[in-house]
Amino acid sequence: MFTGIVTDIGTIDAIEDRGDLRVHVATAYDTARIDLGASVACSGVCLTVVDKTAGRLAFDVSAESVSRTAQGMWAEGRRLNLERALRLGDELGGHIVTGHVDGVGHVTDVTPDGDSKRIGFAVDAGIAPFVAPKGSITIDGVSLTVNTVEDRPDGTTRFAINLIPHTQAVTTLGALAAGDAVNLEIDVLARYLQRMEQLRAKA
């Protein structure tokens, strides 16, 4: 489990194709204090540490994970939002995040709003019911609050978030531009509500 509060920006510096991808990420974390088998969220994707050296972590990324995440994410030079797994007693500063990507959104526009940025996203019909004004959403591993939601006649949904200067500085989101793809995770509570509604409809 995670909180969506990014604690480092890592960079993919090597990729090996072993059937699955072995992705090597340069990080400022003290890797001596990270165990093999530990979970780290990489731009919203929960991955297991399979190897490590000083300043470097390695993860295996399956074809399933590649197919469900933003196009071009697993490439050398890509910057990743990193978060270590939540420990008992840690401050829950964001919201409960599982590290399971529910879908991919696309940036529609980036508009200055004072020192902040207002960023719009388009999502498909599968994600749309779970995006609500003032609700929580995880974008590339970052816990954010949805500002506005607009359901369009063509069946698509747009939503917008506000990105304050601090979040721009400590995550990769400050560099987003129109057309970019991002990993989305809906609020875990929304998943359970959906399942309850499905069961109620069958009763």
Give the phi and the psi of residue 188 in degrees, each rounded to 5. Answer: -60, -30
Q: What pLDDT is stored for residue 155 in this prediction?
A: 77
- In tens, the pLDDT along 176-192 reads 999 999 999 998 777 66
Q: Is the model more confident about 194 or about 165?
A: 165
| Model confidence band, residue 52 (pLDDT cutoffs 50, 70, 90) | very high
> Higher-confidence residue: 89 or 19?
19
Statement: residue 92 has pLDDT above 80: no
- For residue 9, the model assigns a pLDDT of 98
- Compute CA 111 distance to the chain's CA centroid, rounded to the nearest angstrom: 21
pLDDT at 91: 66
Q: Which of 29-33, 121-125, 140-144, 175-179 has the lowest mean pLDDT?
A: 121-125
The domains found in the chain, sorted by start residue, are 8-84 (2.40.30.20), 103-202 (2.40.30.20)
Whether the pTM exceeds 0.85: the reply is yes
Cβ atoms of residues 70 and 183 within 8 Å: yes
| pLDDT, tens digit, 9 for 90 and up, residues 138-183 | 999 999 999 999 998 887 899 999 999 999 999 999 999 999 999 9
C-beta separation of 186 from 136 below 8 A: no
What percent of the chain is predicted at pLDDT more than 70?
Answer: 93
Beta-ladder partners of 8? 82
